Structure 1
Amino acid sequence: MPARVSLYYRGSLSSCNYACPYCPFSKTVDSRETLERDRQQLDRFVDWVRQQAHKPYRLSIFFNPYGEALVHGWYRRAMVELSHLPHVDKVAVQTNLSVKLDWTMELNRDKVAFWATYHPGQTSEAQFVGQCMTLYEHGIAFSAGTVGLRESFAAIRSLRQQLPADVYVWVNAFKDRPAYYEPGEVEELEAIDPYFRYNLTDYASLGQSCLAGESVFYVQGNGMVKRCYQDKRVIGNIYRHELEQIAAERPCQMKTCGCYIGYIHMPDGPFAHQYGERLLERIPLRYEAQAHYNRV
């Protein structure tokens, strides 16, 4: 069993307070019953994490729901508690940063990180940058970025200009249309995000080594575990099996992998060297080093 384990957690939540046209979850409205089920699932998961204190492995946890998590108090409370557990190394979340951030003062800042997504058209640049700067001034690690739609290029350039140089601004490649970018556009986005070309690539992954299912697990609200968010196979359940029983070397069974939270766990790739301990929250070492320099 690896000494360090990463868990991606995704409960029943499937709704968002934004309505981005390219996102299917913006068109979902969760019922009270669904939200209550999501809360109960998260409470059970946090309790399970508490019970892992005696295990020989340490945990890093990433919340990436089908929707916006932090508008719900149970996710904020979970992040606060988990960040203070001695056997938890990291708690990260994917968020649009639309909520008040006063609660972040309760977090263990040495262990938390935010993957903040800017959605032009759903919020103003001033509002999003202001939220980012709150995290920055509080010493909370974060990366920020957006989807690389052609109509968003000006907003992406402006976001890069508005944020401090030691904050990594990423661009997610828009892959819904084949050959979407012209060569000059790739270079333009690469000037903003030096790792954009890596995200633009779909990696041949069938039969390739991957840490998914070995030290990286995708946990659903009911406890079911999949090796990867794309792989539909269920490999266990954290409430019925010990994690040591679930963990095993499992080569990829998908033809390609093109999403950041998937391909970064292919050990033959360059990503561990690019991101180091900040792999989950998407902060490259070059930015982490600069941020550390600016703090001291």
Structure 2
Amino acid sequence: MNINMPAKVSLYYRGSLSSCNYACPYCPFSKTVDSRETLERDRQQLDRFTGWVREQADKPYRLSIFFNPYGEALVHGWYRRAMVELSHLPHVDKVAVQTNLSVKLDWTAELNRDKVAFWATYHPGQTSEAQFVSQCMTLYGRGIAFSAGTVGLRESFAAIHSLRHQLPEDVYVWINAFKDRPAYYTPDEVEELETIDPYFRYNLTDYASLGQSCLAGESVFYVQGNGMVKRCYQDKRVIGNIYRHQLEDIAAERPCGMKQCGCYIGYIHMPDQPFAHQYGDRLLERIPLQYQAHEQGSFLGV
């Protein structure tokens, strides 16, 4: 057993789901339709994972869980039910999810709002700004932590400015850099986007990571639906299985084996970078400290 097991562990969970209810042209999952069998397998996998989390109550570590499937999770009831249950477990510190916020949010009233967070992505052309902002404000009014943002495509600049204008100033609006084309942005465009997302330049960077220290595989793990564990979503190496091994036996220092890391959910776990200091305990859901000064919902008297 690893006697140096960290006291806090973060798990990224990704099951068999690979479909989305949106059709964004830059996203491969918008072109996938899961079969009934695949959806049932995904449901069973998540039920098993939720049960495993429930059984970790006597472990010497606390868990934070982030659902980031290939597709939209919250259109499926099993993800909503899992978030509700996990948010009320004493040994779970956080349950977060990547979502397009396209579903009704009445169920969020059942969540333990002190432990949940939403990473909400705006997709211009797939939904109206008014609808997305309304969903965000529902979360805001209920005091549920969230960040909101979109891909920084040049044709979306006007929509990005408008989104920033429509949301309260204490809601962080992030911009994912579009990296499919080298040198996509001009210096003036980078400065323009930084007026909206002051951390945009960090996402624009691809970090030299080969051999560098990273918490992935030590206190951060990527769990697949079948229980297989990888240190990182980009690293193909399997380091264990939560249903066959104790997590404390899987955990170990594992320097990065990739040449570069350019995705937020990867590079934030490099301890030599400043992200832990910039985001504090809201690192997973992408809410910088400067946006945590006010309790979300306070402007609405919640």
TM range (shorter): over 0.9
Q: Displacement, 1:33?
A: 0.1
Q: Paired residues, what number?
A: 296
1: distance between equivalents of 2:254 and 2:299? 39
- How far does the alpha carbon of each residue in 1:237-288 deviate from its partner, in whole angstroms, 9 at most, with x for none? 0000000110000000000000000000000000000000000000000001
Q: What are structure 2's unaligned runs of at least 5 residues?
A: none
Asked if 2 retains the 8 angstrom alpha-carbon contact of 1:83 and 1:91, the reply is: yes
Question: Which residue number in structure 1 is paired with residue 9 of structure 2?
Answer: 5
CA distance in 2, matches of 1:33, 1:48: 23
Contact 1:71–1:99 at 8 Å: present in 2 too?
A: yes
1:170 aligned counterpart, secondary structure: strand
How far does the alpha carbon of each residue in 1:202-252 deviate from its partner, in whole angstroms, 9 at most, with x for none? Answer: 000000000000000000000000000000000000000000110000000
Q: 1:261 to 1:295 in 2, by over 3 A?
A: farther
**8 Å Cα contact 2:122-2:132 kept in structure 1:** yes
* Residues 295 and 206 of structure 1, relative CA distance in 2, 3 Å threshold: farther
Q: What secondary structure is seen at the aligned counterpart in 2 of 1:212?
A: coil
Shift in Å at residue 149 of structure 1?
0.1
Classify the secondary structure of the residue corresponding to 2:191.
helix
Distance 1:295 1:160 in 2: 21
Does 1:58 find its partner at 2:62? yes
Partner in structure 2 of residue 295 of structure 1:
301
Q: Give the corresponding residue for 1:156.
A: 160
> Displaced runs of 4+ in structure 1, greater than 6 A?
290-296
1:101–1:294 CA distance, 2 compared to 1 (3 A): closer
CA deviations over 1:106-139 (Å, ceiling 9, x no partner): 0000000000000000000000000000000000
Conservation of the 8 A alpha-carbon contact between 2:141 and 2:300: no
Q: Deviations over 1:18-53 (max 9, x none)?
A: 000000000000000000000000000000000000
1:294 is displaced (CA, Å) by: 8.6
Give the Cα separation in 2 of the matches to 1:114 and 1:242: 29
**Which whole-Å deviations, capped at 9, do the CAs of 1:161-181 have from their partners, x for residues lacking one?**
000000000000000000000
Alpha carbons of 1:280 and 1:292: their partners in 2 closer, same or farther (altered >3 Å)? Answer: farther
Separation (CA, whole Å) in 1 of partners of 2:137 and 2:12:
26
Secondary structure, counterpart of 1:94 in structure 2: strand
What is the CA–CA distance in structure 2 between the aligned matches of 1:109 and 1:291, rounded to whole Å? 12
Distance 1:73 1:33 in 2: 16
How big is the shift at 1:295? 6.9
Are residues 14 and 37 of structure 1, via their aligned partners in 2, closer, same or farther at CA, if it must alter by over 3 Å? same
> What is aligned with 2:262?
258
Aligned-partner Cα distance in 2 for 1:178–1:292: 42
* Aligned residue number for residue 95 of structure 2: 91
Distance in structure 2 (CA, Å) of the matches to 1:194 and 1:218: 28
- Which ranges in structure 1 are unaligned for 5 or more consecutive residues? none
Structure 1 Cα separation of the partners of residues 278 and 66 of structure 2:
19
How far apart are residue 293 of structure 1 and its match?
9.1
Using structure 1 for the length normalisation, give the TM-score.
0.98
Instruction: Decide whether the 8 Å contact of 2:11 with 2:65 is kept in 1.
Output: yes
Q: Once the two structures are superposed, what CA deviation does each residue of 1:175-206 show, in whole Å capped at 9, x if it has no partner?
A: 00000000000000000000000000000000
- Would you say the 8 A contact 2:120–2:146 is kept in 1? yes
> Is the contact made by 1:210 and 1:251 (CA closer than 8 Å) also made in structure 2?
yes
Pairing partner for 2:113 from 87, 109, 113: 109
Evaluate the alpha carbon distance shift between residue 12 and residue 246 of structure 1 in structure 2; reply closer, same or farther with a 3 A threshold: same
Counterpart secondary structure, 2:243: coil
Aligned residue for 2:139, secondary structure, equals helix
Cα 1:240–1:174 change in 2 (3 A) is: same
Contact 2:122 2:148 in 1 (8 A): yes
Residues 140, 297 of structure 2: 8 Å contact kept: no
SS of 1:192's equivalent?
coil
Confirm or deny: 8 A CA contact 1:167 1:291 kept in the other structure: no
Q: 1:236 to 1:295 in 2, by over 3 A?
A: farther
CA–CA separation in structure 2 for the residues paired with 1:133 and 1:288:
16
**1:138-176 deviation per Cα after TM superposition (whole angstroms, max 9, x unaligned):** 000000000000000000000000000000000000000
Q: 1:229 to 1:76 in 2, by over 3 A?
A: same
